Amino acid sequence: MSDTDNPNDVYAPLRLKNFRRYITANTILIIGQRIQTVAVGWEVYEKTGSAVSLGYVGLIQFLPILLFSLFSGHIVDSFNRKTIFMISLAANAVAALALAWNGGENLSLTYFVLFILGITRCFQNPARVSLLPRVVPRELFVVTVRWTTTGFQIALMIGPALGGLIIGVAHSATYAYLANTVGAIIGMLLIGSLKYQRLYMTRQPWTLAAILGGFHFVRDTRVILATMILDAFAVLLGGATALMPVYAKDILLVGPSGLGWLLAAPSVGAVIMALFQITRRPWTKLGRAMLYSLVGFGSMTILFGLSTNFWLSFMCLLMLGAFDNVSVVVRQTLIQTMTPEDMRGRVGALSGLFIGTSNELGGFESGMVAGLFGPVISVVSGGVGTFLVTLLIAKLYPELKDYEIEK
């Protein structure tokens, strides 16, 4: 076994040129997309002053994920994943240019472009996840997941802060959209340079059984199903991110720069936790670690919802991100190590349907509840809901709390 194949060497993936290109591309892409997320939220709220309009931003991106995820996963398992990834990045760049050109003047056009972006992510996310096992040796999956998660969280930390800074300096979202365009182009160049070890698998038939193959696999693999449900409902019910423009402008009174820091705070905590996990052995009880982390996630969501102090709110979000990172690492580790090669696209798409849908639908849910009862009740009730779902899943899936990954 070479040095780079040693599963106990946490730095082994970074010695692989292929992986360095992959993680760099992925990090830059997420930075650009998060800059754009800040821009869309701020622009829509500035134009409308409505939390409900922010909710529609989540809903319009949720619909394509709901409608097309199963089909996109089937396509990813049938065709060249690298090519699909690059096409989705090209579409992302064009959509960002359209948002820059629109400048928020036509809200219907903004929603239309967000719908198109939702479609591209249906293909981008499963293709990206499915590509990783062909970039690094299987022996490095567990440590690779830690590194990719760390890169992802660093991007989530940098992206919102940059988005708020760009909007604050330029007094416009246009340059934020252009930054995402540049990020997508850089990502295409890096992904295009990967030495991709493609397996020529049998093209999947267009039958209902084949399309639903990922669903059946997840349904029958109860530990994976339990982690997906937990993550999905935690994001759906505990997602205060969609209401950050409301908190920044109307409750904490910190403006666009403060919004950027609030959005970055969960990722600061997540990066700290990710780096901690890289330097230690994996959790001995993965499921139990996830359950405890979601209790912490719900607690911090409630405290944030009640806070009217910027620094207390920032610390709550920082801790929330640290707890969330544990559940992300658990879920990704299970999916990467337990999913068969010919089903990675469909399982990845289903994971995106669970988690990505919850992000967008959670934004819609938060906006609707805030519109009816106010932002504080929306956030606090979400934290309480996270507690209740965690208790229910622990009861329905008792095998989760005792699950240990094979050593």
Cα gap 285→290, rounded to integer Å: 9
Residue 5: pLDDT band (50, 70, 90) is: low
At residue 363, the pLDDT reads 66
Instruction: Determine the average pLDDT of the residues in 250-273.
Output: 80
Instruction: Determine the average pLDDT of the residues in 43-65.
Output: 79
At residue 132, the pLDDT reads 78
At residue 222, the pLDDT reads 82
Residue 360: pLDDT band (50, 70, 90) is: low
Q: Which residue has the higher pLDDT, 269 or 161?
A: 269
- pLDDT tens string 230-239: 877 777 776 6
Beta strands in 79-121 (DSSP E): none
Per-residue DSSP letters for 217-280?
A: HHHH-HHHHHHHHHHHHHHHHH--GGGHHHIIIIIS--HHHHHHHHHHHHHHHHHHHHHHHHTS
At residue 217, the pLDDT reads 79
Q: How many Cβ atoms from other residues are within 10 Å of residue 1's Cβ?
A: 8
At residue 1, the pLDDT reads 44
Range among 34-48, 135-149, 334-348 rated most confident: 34-48
Residue 54: pLDDT band (50, 70, 90) is: confident
Query: Ramachandran region of residue 6, left (φ > 0), alpha (ψ -120 to 50) or beta?
Result: beta
Walk me through the domains of the chain, giving residue ranges and CATH numbers. 10-195+209-402 (1.20.1250.20)
Per-residue DSSP letters for 368-401?
A: HHHHHH-HHHHHHHHHHHHHHHHHHHHHH-TTGG
At residue 240, the pLDDT reads 67
Q: Which residue has the higher pLDDT, 8 or 138?
A: 138
Residue 201: pLDDT band (50, 70, 90) is: low
Cα gap 62→73, rounded to integer Å: 16
Distance of CA 394 to the CA centre of its chain: 24
Average pLDDT, the chain: 80
* C-alpha separations of 333 from 130, 221, 279, 326, 368 in Å: 13, 14, 16, 11, 34
Give the torsion sign (CA, 218, 222, 224, 230).
Answer: positive
Non-local CB neighbours of 392 within 8 Å, separated by 6+ positions:
none
What residue has token string 């207390």? 312
